[in-house]
Structure 1
Amino acid sequence: MEKVRVLVVDDSAFMRKMITDILESDERIKVIGTARNGSDGIEKIKRFQPDVVTMDVTMPVLDGISALREIMTTMPLPVIMLSSKSGRGTDHTLKAIENGAVDFIMKPSGAISLNIETIQKEIISKVIAAKDAMISARRPVKEQAFRTFPQSSMPTRRTAKDNSLIAIGTSTGGPRALQQVITDLPEDFQTPILIVQHMPPYFTKSLAERLNKLTKLHVKEAMDGDCLQARSIYIAPGDFHMVVEEHGTEYRIKLTKSPPVNNHRPSVDSLFHSIAMLENVNKTAVILTGMGSDGSDGIRQIKKVDKRAFVIAESIESTVIYGMPKAAYETGLVDQVLPLHQIGHFLGKLT
Structure 2
Amino acid sequence: MAQYQVLVVDDSAFMRKVISDLIEEDPLFTVMGTAKTGREAIAKVKELRPDAVTMDVEMPEMNGLDALKHIMEETPVPVIMLSSLTSDGARETILALERGAVDFVRKPSGSISLDVFKVKLLLHEKLRIAVAVNLKSRTMSSVKVAKDELVVLSDAGSRLPTRQSVPAVLKPNRIGPVQKLVAIGTSTGGPRALQQVLSALPEHFPAPILIVQHMPPKFTHSLALRLDSLSRIRVVEAEDGQELRNGTAYIAPGGWHMHLAKNDRTSGYQVKLTKEEPRSGHRPSVDVLFESLLPYVTTLPIHTVLMTGMGSDGAKGMKALKAAGSHASIAESEETCVVYGMPRSAVEQQCVDYVLPVTEIPRKLTELLPST
Cα distance in 2 for partners of 1:40, 1:215 equals 35
1:143 alignment partner in structure 2: 144
Residue 259 (structure 1) aligned with residue 294 (structure 2): no
* Paired residues of 1:146 and 1:342 also in contact (CA < 8 A): no
2:86 is the counterpart of 1:86: yes
Q: Structure 1: how far apart are the matches of 2:131 and 2:241?
A: 41
- 1:329: which partner in 2? 347
In structure 1, which of residues 269, 272, 279 is the aligned counterpart of residue 287 of structure 2? 269
Match of 1:17 in 2: 17
**Pick from 298, 312, 318: which aligns with 2:317?**
298
In structure 1, distance between residues paired with 2:191 and 2:357: 16
Contact 2:182–2:209 (Cα < 8 Å) also in 1? yes
1:348 equivalent in structure 2: 366
CA-based RMSD of the aligned residues comes to 2.0
Deviation at 1:218, TM superposition (A): 1.3
Gaps of 5+ in 1: 148-161
Are 2:331 and 1:288 aligned? Answer: no
Deviation at 1:135, TM superposition (A): 2.0
How do 1:213-252 and structure 2 match up within 5 A?
213-248=229-264, 249-252=267-270
Q: Is residue 184 from structure 1 mapped to residue 200 from structure 2 by the alignment?
A: yes
Equivalent residue number for residue 356 of structure 2: 338
Report the alpha carbon displacement of residue 138 of structure 1 after superposing the two structures with TM. Answer: 4.1
Task: Report Cα offsets for 1:42-66 as digits up to 9, x if no partner.
Answer: 2221221111111011112221101
Partner of 1:205: 221
Contact 2:202 2:233 in 1 (8 A): no
Find the counterpart in structure 1 of residue 127 from structure 2. Answer: 127
Are 1:141 and 1:176, in contact at CA under 8 Å, matched by a contact in 2? no
Give the 5 Å matches for 1:142-161. Answer: 142-143=143-144
Match of 2:171 in 1: none
- Is residue 83–residue 106 contact of structure 2 (8 Å, CA) maintained in 1? yes
Change (3 A) 1:2 1:329: farther
Letter in 1 for 2:250: Y
Identity %: 47
The structural deviation recorded for 1:314 is 0.3
3-state SS of paired residue (1:43): helix
TM-score after normalising by structure 1:
0.90
Shift in alpha-carbon separation, 1:95–1:146, aligned structure 2, 3 A: closer
Q: Which amino acid aligns with 1:280?
A: T
Instruction: Find the aligned partners of 1:105 and 1:2 in 2 and give their Cα distance.
Output: 21
Deviation at 1:139, TM superposition (A): 5.9
Does residue 314 of the first structure (1) align with residue 332 of the second (2)?
yes
Name the residue aligned to 2:170: none
State the match for 1:102 in structure 2.
Answer: 102
Letter matched to residue 13 of structure 1: A
Cα 1:135–1:172 shift into 2, 3 Å: same
Contact 1:141 1:180 in 2 (8 A): no
Q: Is the 8 Å Cα contact of residues 18 and 116 (structure 1) preserved in structure 2?
A: no
Deviation at 1:141?
6.4
Identify the residue that residue 34 of structure 1 maps to in structure 2.
Answer: 34
Letter in 1 for 2:284: P
CA distance in 2, matches of 1:22, 1:108: 10
Secondary structure at 1:163 match in 2: coil
Asked whether the 8 Å contact 1:277–1:305 carries over to 2, the reply is: no
**CA shift for structure 1 position 8:** 1.0
- Residues in 1 aligned to 2:100 and 2:188: alpha-carbon distance in whole angstroms: 11
Residue matched to 1:151: none
Shift in alpha-carbon separation, 1:254–1:13, aligned structure 2, 3 A: same
Map of 2:172 onto structure 1: none
Task: Give the Å deviation of 1:252.
Answer: 1.2
C-alpha spacing 1:97/1:236, structure 2 compared with 1 (3 Å): same
Task: State the SS of the aligned residue for 2:245.
Answer: coil
Who is 2:185 aligned against?
169
Q: Distance in 1 between matches of 2:367 and 2:111?
A: 49
Q: Which shows bigger deviation, 319-328 or 256-265?
A: 319-328
Quote how far apart the aligned CAs of 1:113 are: 4.9
The verdict on how the C-alpha distance between 1:78 and 1:236 changes in structure 2, with shifts beyond 3 A counting, is same
CA contact (8 A) 2:319 2:346 kept: no
SS at match of 1:184: coil
Q: Which moved more, 1:27-36 or 1:227-236?
A: 27-36
